[in-house]
Amino acid sequence: MATELDDKAFHSAQSLSLKLLGAFPDYVADFEAKLQSWQEAISPSSDPSTWSSVPEVDALIALGPKTVPLPLRHLSRAEEDATATFLYNKLEHDPEYLVDNADPTRNVTAILKKNFRRNRVVRNALLDWDEHCEMVAIHSNAEWRTEWDEFEELVKLGPPVIPQLMLKYKPRNGPTFSYELLHAILWGYTTELQTISLVDQYNMWDDWFQKRNYNEAPHYAHPSQRVREE
């Protein structure tokens, strides 16, 4: 029997994926095209242990954890989508959130509930950082946004922050330092770049999020390395 939390978890997965579809259509289209190619290359009724044997799965796995909301979208619409559960396990990097592929149907609700709780933590942490950024808005340099507990909390949360962060990053027309948070999550440190086009930064991260593999994220040398080179 479904509980109120179950209903919230299913609704949350659908809501996030719809927001991503509206804001980043290429992100969803790229995933769906690769998913279709993989599903056509396998038999969904076959042994899941064989599903990794076709090359089409590699293109999906390469998208990495920034794509986790999209298999969740499929799970929220069809509880018996074993391929979505299998793919979720391949994209999710946190062992705490993995499930047993041998019994995918039973684990769908558990997956959605875990991710609902995690997404709520991420949302609240992003709101805390937003409030901090508003308080220091008179300062033009990134350090006022990045050298604080609110920023570090988001870095600790890791890749699950990325989809919700990109949704907040997109509509902003003024200066934003979300690229520093993305870089810190993916590479372990901020860029500390002094001269930078915020528009160009957004365009680079948007292109990566929608069209590139996870390991193709924008990457700057560590600040200490740049100092030595100078």
Residues 6+ apart with CB under 8 A from 121: 157
Band (186; pLDDT cuts 50, 70, 90): very high
Tell me: the pLDDT tens digits for 135-151?
Answer: 888 887 788 788 889 99
3-class secondary structure per residue, 115-128:
HHHHHHHHHHHHHH
CB 186 within 8 A of CB 178: no
Phi and psi, residue 145, nearest 5°: -100, -25
Compute the residue count for the chain: 230
Q: Over the stretch 76-95, which tens digit does the pLDDT of each residue have? A: 886 668 889 999 999 999 99
Single out the residue of 185, 205, 158 nearest to residue 24, CA to CA. Answer: 205
pTM of the entire predicted model? 0.90
* Alpha carbons 3 and 6: distance in angstroms, whole number: 5
Every domain of the chain and the residues it spans: 4-116, 122-229
Q: What is the 3-state secondary structure (H, E, C) of 162-201?
A: HHHHHHHHCCCCCCCCHHHHHHHHHHCCCCCCCCCCHHHH
Strands (E), 33-73: none
